[in-house]
Chain A
Amino acid sequence: MSSPEVIRAVGEVLKGAAAAGAGDDYQRSQVLSAYSMTRHLAAEESGRAELTAAFGAELETILGDRDGGGWAAETDPAALGERLSRVLAELRAGDEDSRRTATALRAALRRLCEREVENLAAA
């Protein structure tokens, strides 16, 4: 089983528990929230690899060797967030060329955001 399939299986158990009506309103809402999380997480996981690869490739093209390069290989979200935040702040304060790069980076971020939401919408 893939990770999304495992997550969905856990979610079905939670859905069943909520439907069985055990516990008070608060407990049932907690179980339903947990079920909702499994649906969204499974949808997110299903699209993660493709999304990460596409975004990494875009970053390679736009940023190249900036900040040490290696953008396509950077898959840790915290490290990527740190680096992109730093680079975007530098580009914002830079010359005309930097501002053009910032525009391209923002367009890539917009596409990333749109695809993230599209993936979640499959939940």
Chain B
Amino acid sequence: MSVEAIEPEGRERAAAALELLRLAGVLGDDADATSLIQLEGGWSRQAYVLGARDEGVEREFVVRVKPPGPLLDTDLRQEYETTRLLTRHGVAAPVAHAFEEGENPFGGPYYVMDRAPGSAPNVWRARDRAELEANWEAGGSLAEDLVDGLVGIHSIPAAEATAVLPLRDFEAAVSHWETVQGEMALLRDPVVEDAYAWLREREPEPVEPTLVHGDYRIGNCLNEHGRITAILDWELSYVGDPRYDLGYISLEYEAGSFTKPGSKLLGSVAEREWFMREYERRSGRPVDPEVVRTYAVLADLMLVAILTTGIRMYVDGKSEDVRMAWTRFAIPGLRRELTALMSY
């Protein structure tokens, strides 16, 4: 194995990832690392693209690292195991090869997976929204894949998923985010507190739990030539009511609304009625708009709790990433959406 092509500061990391892949039987003894590039972004995870050459074949992998003091202190091994579960079920998730949690040059636990082709759109960018809307106008290939992806995720039964992920019913999900909010908030917010009370009066009739993505949106999907190639970012997944994902994706925020309106399409991808109707038809699961509304409020509150956590980390000096402080300006839009959802 050789890492000579890598910049000196990245060689230890490249060598570690290469060795992990060799031990997993993915690469041979003579494989070389050709590049290691850290990707921009990532609030709770860092990601690197590792280029490798093995018996003359060029390959690319993604190294996903949990850095010290991430925004979300979620379990990386759980995420790795979830990804492997999804692959076994034929869901379009990246193929994960190996996990390392011992001391290593990345500075935190990491796993290595194949790099799936394509890129993820940013619905808060007008140009990306326009491209997504154009895809819908042209037949909606991304919408088709987005529905199928969600149906596929929700087809994974709780019995299998609970071997990897925690089971969280409605009350547990509400309590979880309410606790986070209570611990992290710099001040009390009457709209947010009222929303938690509103939720507790609207507990839906339970349905059979399934795997829930928890952050299902087009921005967490890679796409290429109008098709979704991989569904990413499983750090918020759990086993629970699948209708949570429908509530989350139906938020205006997830269609690019910030201080100005986003797309009129659900998630910037599909007409709302079409998406819900197709999900219902393909999954065989009825969609009650009132239940979706309930879960949209919970999803909104989850986002507020996560953003509040980022603000708290910045204020307490646990992060120097100014984006954590910047998220303060995302909360008014989410709060306004809460008032609309609750028919204030």
Which A residues have a C-beta under 8 Å from some C-beta of B? 25-26, 29-30, 33-34, 36-37, 40, 44, 77-78, 81-82, 84-85, 87-89, 92, 106-107, 109-110, 113-114, 116-117, 120-121, 123
In contact, A29 and B190 (Cβ under 8 angstroms):
no
In the complex, B104 has a CB within 8 A of chain A:
no
Q: Do A33 and B336 form a contact, CB below 8 Å, given A81-B188, A88-B194, A92-B197?
A: no
Asked whether, in the complex, the Cβ of B332 is within 8 Å of the Cβ of A113, the reply is yes
Residues of chain A within 8 A of B186, CB atoms compared: 78
A84–B323 CA distance with the chains assembled, in angstroms: 29
Binding site for A on B (CB under 8 A): 40, 186-191, 193-194, 197, 259-260, 321-323, 325-326, 328-329, 332-333, 335-336, 338-340, 342, 344
Given A37-B322, A37-B329, A106-B194, 13 new contacts (CB under 8 A): A29-B40, A33-B322, A78-B186, A88-B193, A109-B339, A113-B336, A113-B338, A116-B336, A117-B332, A120-B259, A120-B329, A120-B332, A120-B333
Q: In the complex, which of the residues A29, A85, A113 has the most CB atoms of chain B within 10 Å of its own CB atom?
A: A113
A2 to chain B, nearest CB (A): 20
A34 to B340, CA, bound (A): 30
Contacts of A77 in B (CB 8 A): 187
Question: Does A34 lie within 8 Å of B259, measured CB to CB?
Answer: no
A33 touching B187, Cβ below 8 Å: no
Partner of A106, one of B325, B326, B329, B339: B339
Q: For B190, give its contact among A26, A109, A120, A123 (CB under 8 Å).
A: A109
